[in-house]
């Protein structure tokens, strides 16, 4: 059974300088309750992928092609009001900056009540009870009294918890979380990761966790997608991908981590930097930085399938 089926998704930005293919032929699927990690360096298209899923791509960007099927319904081209009804009830999003979802002039209690009442008839009393239960669930102490607080009266970590509680409020089937712990300290990040993991398990909510940090994704997700220049260059179960990556970029990312080297020794480094989307090389976009690149790599790389994994590469690393 699949909850989400994304096929050949293309989200492009039509700028004066040219067309930036921020998401360029992305395909993946997600089962109910599954946690999927989406990793890549900045500019690789992770956030645009997330925004595309919830129908929030702003001009000059638009979905230029492909399909997003959520629980059997096609989201690409769906009427805005139907999409809005879906968003917040069955699909929710958590951002790096919780201010993006929280209204600074309303108390948390009011916002949570509005979010509940937008999708069904709920009395104020019942709304307050559900909000309190959800805030408690995400680790906010004395939740009942905190309903009267405004967002700025919470610390950064607590504010992110409130945003997560808002996302969970209507019992969504899917949460898209875009770097929700990146701005937080490690000890607070660990608390939120532990809670998200438990919440996803307990409630059966599927989770797409977007992060630039391989370690975070590896400790949370079941499967991982590695993104580079708008494409998913590798996918598979987290453990298998990290133990033996198929794509040279995944290998390079792993090897550049200090944790993978002897202290004080030079790190294995990927030369160069990520290409501009407006001037991508012919063929494999990673070729100019890849130690394995040869003449073949000037042609678009084939999709290599291995059991429950895939990579886009002319010379995949594992046999």
Ligand X SMILES: Nc1ncnc2c1ncn2[C@@H]1O[C@H](COP(=O)(O)OP(=O)(O)O)[C@@H](O)[C@H]1O
Judged by beta carbon distances under 5 to 8 A according to partner kind, the member of Mg ion, other proteins, ligand X, none in contact with residue 177 is: none
For residue 36, list its beta bridge partners.
208, 223
Within 245-274, the residues that bind other proteins by CB under 8 A are 252-254, 256-261, 263-264, 266-270, 273-274
Within 204-233, the residues that bind other proteins by CB under 8 A are 212-216, 218-220
Q: Shortest approach of ligand X to residue 177 CB, angstroms?
A: 13
Within 77-116, the residues that bind other proteins by CB under 8 A are none
At residue 80, the 3 state secondary structure works out as helix
Q: Shortest approach of ligand X to residue 128 CB, angstroms?
A: 35
Total residue length of the chain: 319
Distance, CA of 22 to CA of 20 (rounded, Å): 6
**Nearer CB in complex with ligand X: 39/165:** 39
Q: Shortest approach of other proteins to residue 113 CB, angstroms?
A: 26
Are residues 173 and 205 in contact, defined by beta-carbon separation less than 8 angstroms? yes
Q: Shortest approach of other proteins to residue 119 CB, angstroms?
A: 32
Judged by beta carbon distances under 5 to 8 A according to partner kind, the member of Mg ion, ligand X, other proteins, none in contact with residue 48 is: ligand X
Q: Are strands 4-15 and 61-70 parallel, antiparallel or unpaired?
A: antiparallel
**Nearer CB in complex with ligand X: 46/310:** 46
At residue 38, the 3 state secondary structure works out as strand
43 binds ligand X (CB under 6 A): yes
Cβ-in-10-Å burial (0-12, 13-18, 19+) of 221 comes to buried
Distance, CA of 295 to CA of 278 (rounded, Å): 22
Q: Shortest approach of Mg ion to residue 288 CB, angstroms?
A: 23
242 binds other proteins (CB under 8 A): yes
Binder of ligand X out of 37, 55, 61, 88 (CB under 6 A) = 61
Letters for 32-71 (x = contact with Mg ion by CB under 5 A, - = none) are ---------------x------------------------
Q: Shortest approach of other proteins to residue 184 CB, angstroms?
A: 9
At residue 78, the 3 state secondary structure works out as coil
46 binds ligand X (CB under 6 A): yes
Judged by beta carbon distances under 5 to 8 A according to partner kind, the member of ligand X, Mg ion, other proteins, none in contact with residue 103 is: none
Which residues in this chain contact ligand X in the complex, by CB under 6 A? Answer: 13, 15, 20, 22, 40, 42-48, 60-61, 277
């Amino acid at each position: 059974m699949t909850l989400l089926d994304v096929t050949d998704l293309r989200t492009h930005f039509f700028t004066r300088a040219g067309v930036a293919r921020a998401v360029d032929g992305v395909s993946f699927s997600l089962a109910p309750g599954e946690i999927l990690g989406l990793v890549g360096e900045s500019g690789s298209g992770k956030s645009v992928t997330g925004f595309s899923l919830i129908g929030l791509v702003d001009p000059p960007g638009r979905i230029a092609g492909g399909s997003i099927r959520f629980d059997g319904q096609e989201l690409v081209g769906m009427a805005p009001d139907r999409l809005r009804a879906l968003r917040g009830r069955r699909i929710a999003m958590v951002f790096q900056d919780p201010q993006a979802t929280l209204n600074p002039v309303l108390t948390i209690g009011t916002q949570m009540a509005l979010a509940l009442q937008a999708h069904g008839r709920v009395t104020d009393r019942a709304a307050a009870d559900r909000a309190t239960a959800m805030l408690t669930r995400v680790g906010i102490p004395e939740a009942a009294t905190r309903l009267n607080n405004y967002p700025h009266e919470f610390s950064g970590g607590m504010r992110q918890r409130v945003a997560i509680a808002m996302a969970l409020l209507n019992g969504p089937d899917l949460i898209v979380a875009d770097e929700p712990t990146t701005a937080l300290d490690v000890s607070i990040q660990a608390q939120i990761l532990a809670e998200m993991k438990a919440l996803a398990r307990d409630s059966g909510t599927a989770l797409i966790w977007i992060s630039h940090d391989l370690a975070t994704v590896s400790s949370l997700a079941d499967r991982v997608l590695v993104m580079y220049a708008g494409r998913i260059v590798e996918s598979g179960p987290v453990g298998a991908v990290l133990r033996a990556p198929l794509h040279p970029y995944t290998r390079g990312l792993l090897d550049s981590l200090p944790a993978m080297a002897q202290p004080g020794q030079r790190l294995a480094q990927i030369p160069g930097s990520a290409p501009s989307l407006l001037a991508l090389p012919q063929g494999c976009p990673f070729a100019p930085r890849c130690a394995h690149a040869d003449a073949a790599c000037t042609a678009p790389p084939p999709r290599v399938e291995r059991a429950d994994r895939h990579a886009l590469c002319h010379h995949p690393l594992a046999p």
